């Protein structure tokens, strides 16, 4: 190697995808901790290890960055939901798998709960603008619809169940418990976040959904808890 080559400064190539991912991760943490109003672009840029100019280049402003972080929540849910392979399972097993999926997602992604709480405070104004989310939801809804269709055809699910109503029922059981566990624990004098109580509520959610959906919820042919 020549001395000229040896002394040549190293050029760091920008990876736009990696930069964007770092910004979104930092933004999610900041918005989850402080909400939209109190979150600071300076802090997000510092967390991401980039300058504010780059952040604005990728996302435009704080409102659009919040929308992008919110879209990531929906993309994770919808895309992950498409990988469950419910079509390879019996209807009862697929139903339990769907409940477990929603439970595990929100249990392991508390920042998503915080972002959704913030968006609800803002009357879903960012979500309303999102073409990305509107494109993500129909395939996920179709996956649940097909599970219900197979269960109805096999006469193990009640007829004419709505996939959106089923999903909202599952999310309601999961989301409320996890998002309000701190206040409920204090109010009722019991820690709702112990491993035993978390496992118990997961099974409770399964049983409630089974009794809502199935024609014979106590049929021993149901998939076992795991």
- What the block records as the tokens of 54 is 């780059």
Q: Residues 32-59: pLDDT tens digits?
A: 999 999 999 999 999 999 989 999 999 9
Same fold, 14-60 and 63-226: no
pLDDT tens, residue by residue, 173-190: 999 999 999 999 999 999
Q: Where are the domains of the chain?
A: 14-60, 63-226
Mean pLDDT of all residues in 203-208: 97
Which range among 94-108, 112-126, 206-220 shows the weakest confidence by mean pLDDT? Answer: 206-220
Q: Collapsing DSSP states into helix, strand and coil, what is residue 217?
A: coil
102: closest CA among 170, 165, 148, 166? 170
- CB neighbour list of residue 61: distance below 8 Å, 6 or more residues apart: none
| Structural contact between residues 80 and 101, judged by C-beta atoms closer than 8 angstroms | yes
pLDDT of 161 above 80? yes
Asked if residues 159 and 215 have their Cβ atoms less than 8 Å apart, the reply is no
What pLDDT sits at residue 10? 42
Q: What is the SS3 assignment for 117-128?
A: HHHHHCCCCCHH
| Class of the CATH domain delimited by 63-226 | mainly alpha
List alpha helices for 49-192, DSSP H: 52-59, 62-82, 91-108, 110-121, 131-153, 163-179, 181-188
> For 14-60, which CATH class?
mainly alpha
Render pLDDT for 61-79 as a digit per residue (tens, 0 to 9).
999 999 999 999 999 999 9
- For residue 225, the model assigns a pLDDT of 43
Strand partners, 214: 157
Helix axes 131-153, 163-179, angle to 10 degrees: 110
Helices (H), 154-194: 163-179, 181-188
Q: Is 189 left (phi over 0), alpha (psi -120 to 50) or beta?
A: left
Helix (H, G, I), strand (E, B) or coil at 157: strand
Query: What's the pLDDT tens digit per position in 10-38?
Result: 434 456 788 899 999 999 999 999 999 99
- Please list, in sequence order, all residues whose beta carbon lies within 8 angstroms of the beta carbon of residue 203, skipping any fewer than 6 positions away: 225
A 10 A CB-CB count for 225 gives 11
Total-model pTM: 0.86
- Does residue 221 carry a pLDDT above 90? no
């Amino acid at each position: 190697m020549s001395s000229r080559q040896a002394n040549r400064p190293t050029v760091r190539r920008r990876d736009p995808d990696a930069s964007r991912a770092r910004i979104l991760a930092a933004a999610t943490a900041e918005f989850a901790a402080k909400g939209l109003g109190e979150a600071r672009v300076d802090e997000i840029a510092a967390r991401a290890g980039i300058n504010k100019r780059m952040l604005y280049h990728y996302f435009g402003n704080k409102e659009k960055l919040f929308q992008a972080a919110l879209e990531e929540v929906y993309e994770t849910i919808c895309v992950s939901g498409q990988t469950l392979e419910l079509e390879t399972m019996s209807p009862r097993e697929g139903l339990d798998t769907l409940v477990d999926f929603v439970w595990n997602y929100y249990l392991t992604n508390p920042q998503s709960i915080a972002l959704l709480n913030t968006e609800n405070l803002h009357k879903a104004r960012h979500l309303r603008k999102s073409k990305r989310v509107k494109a993500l939801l129909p395939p996920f809804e179709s996956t649940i619809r097909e599970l219900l269709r197979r269960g109805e055809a096999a006469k193990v699910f009640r007829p004419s169940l709505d996939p959106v109503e089923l999903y909202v029922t599952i999310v309601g059981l999961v989301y409320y418990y996890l998002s309000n566990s701190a206040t409920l624990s204090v109010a009722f004098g019991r820690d709702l976040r112990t491993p035993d109580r978390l496992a118990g509520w997961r099974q409770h959610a399964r049983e409630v959904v089974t009794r809502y959906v199935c024609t014979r919820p106590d049929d021993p042919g149901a998939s076992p808890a795991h």
